[in-house]
Amino acid sequence: MNQADVTKLISQLRIAVRPSQRNLKNSDGPEGRLLKLRKTVTALMKHERIELYYNRADEARGYAELVRIISNGYNISSLHSIPIPKQLISNAIRHGDRHKATMELADYWLLEKQLVHKLFKVLVPRYENYNVSYTRMYRAPRDYPGMYYRQSVLELRGNPYPSLVMDQSHNRNLLHNVLLDEARKEFRRKKLADLVN
């Protein structure tokens, strides 16, 4: 039985979060784990699509989303301050820029300092009106024979590269679209006939 920590108010992460963290193996222990994850998050912000092992990708994903959420300016109110109502994203970018704790966090997590600028100037406006997660993770083919670890591709939504998933909704010649279009036409014809009658 624990009591939830009410000093911080964090928004819901829109990804599946494991109940406990993965203690990724590292010779420097927990600090080394966080350093590795910082490098991963930095690379993700920089390249917007990276391929890496699944476990680290899953861990880094949570941190990447939180960096984004916190930089959006979701309030990190302390126990004794008057609770600030959750700011709209438009004000919050300002708030994010100025808020000391947010800047410290962004500074810690993004090892390359120009990415802090990219975070606040490019990514925050991009994700202003999103109601889905900011990252996407795919499973990648495993290297058999060889290092048979689970691979994954982690990418930010809205990245400039071509999509990794087949978009089957736009090609109207695909079988399911042909069937659906015909069904729709027939429905409309029938409706028109009913109206005429």
Stretch that binds other proteins, among 17-25, 42-50, 111-119, 154-162 (CB under 8 A): 17-25
Smallest CA-to-CA distance from 24 within 40, 4, 45 is with 40
Name 187's Cβ contacts closer than 8 Å, sequence gap at least 6. none
Q: Which of 25, 121, 171, 188 binds other proteins (CB under 8 A)?
A: 171
**Sole window of 42-50, 112-120, 124-132, 150-158 interacting with other proteins (rule: CB under 8 A):** 124-132
Among the residue ranges 44-52, 117-125, 156-164, 177-185, the one whose residues contact other proteins (CB under 8 A) = 177-185
The reply on whether position 20 binds other proteins by CB under 8 A is: yes
Report if residue 27 touches other proteins, rule: CB under 8 A: no
Nearer to other proteins, 175 or 196 (CB): 175
Part in contact with other proteins (CB under 8 A); list of ranges 43-51, 85-93, 118-126, 146-154: 85-93
Q: Per DSSP, what are the bridge partners of residue 151? A: 53, 140
Whole-number Cα distances in Å, 23 to 28, 37, 67, 70, 87: 12, 11, 20, 23, 34
By residue count, the chain amounts to 197
3-state SS assignment for residue 137:
strand
> Which residues make beta-bridge pairs with 137?
154
Contact indicator for 93, 129 with CB cutoff of 8 Å: no
What the block records as the tokens of 50 is 């990276």
Please report, for residues 186, 188, 189, the alpha-carbon distance to residue 197 in angstroms, rounded to integers and kept in the order given.
16, 14, 12
Q: Is 165 in the site for other proteins (CB under 8 A)?
A: no
**Residues binding other proteins: number (CB under 8 A):** 58
Residues at the interface with other proteins (CB under 8 A):
1-6, 8-17, 19-21, 30-31, 34, 59, 62-63, 66-67, 70, 74, 79-80, 82-83, 85-86, 88-89, 104-105, 108-109, 129, 131-133, 166, 168, 171, 173-176, 178-180, 182-183, 186
